[in-house]
Amino acid sequence: MSRGVWASLAALVLALGALNAILARAVDTCTGGSADSLIGGALTAILNLLGFLMLVRGTKPWLLALLVALPTLAALSYTAFALEFWHSYVTRGISACEAKTGEPDWALSGEEPQLIFYWVAAAAIYWIGLAYAAWRSFKTKDLDLDLAEPN
């Protein structure tokens, strides 16, 4: 497959990861004191990893910027959530539901360390993958706007 096809598939996978991250934090209301939707951080981490692995051949810098623009906005959001969740759990012992809803008085579910790991992993994979993809992109020194494959 050509680089353009891989780049398009990568963009789709990264967009699905971003959508999953948004839905995982917005859909569930902690009914019954369970923040089960936050397990979606694991799927977001996997989709981020797959998306950036598809970009391993490198792509043009302008195309990379276009492909990751919207997923990066979502990544900013879930990175902030992951760091706040981790910090609040470590310093104040908040529950997953309190991190998700912002409402106090939720009991700990016991899943908090696992959920924090998923969200921190999703964020770390995204930013490391983006840095590597950008490095590969600029390393190729192929900065023209031609979409055709090189001969």
Instruction: Give residue-wise pLDDT tens across range 47-66.
Output: 999 999 988 776 788 888 88
Q: What is the mean pLDDT of the chain?
A: 86
Q: What are phi and psi of 72, to 5 degrees?
A: -65, -35
56 contacts: CB under 8 Å, gap ≥ 6:
136
- In contact, 97 and 24? CB cutoff 8 Å: no
Residue closest to 48 by CA, chosen among 28, 29, 32, 68 = 68
What predicted TM-score, i.e. pTM, was given to this entire model?
Answer: 0.86
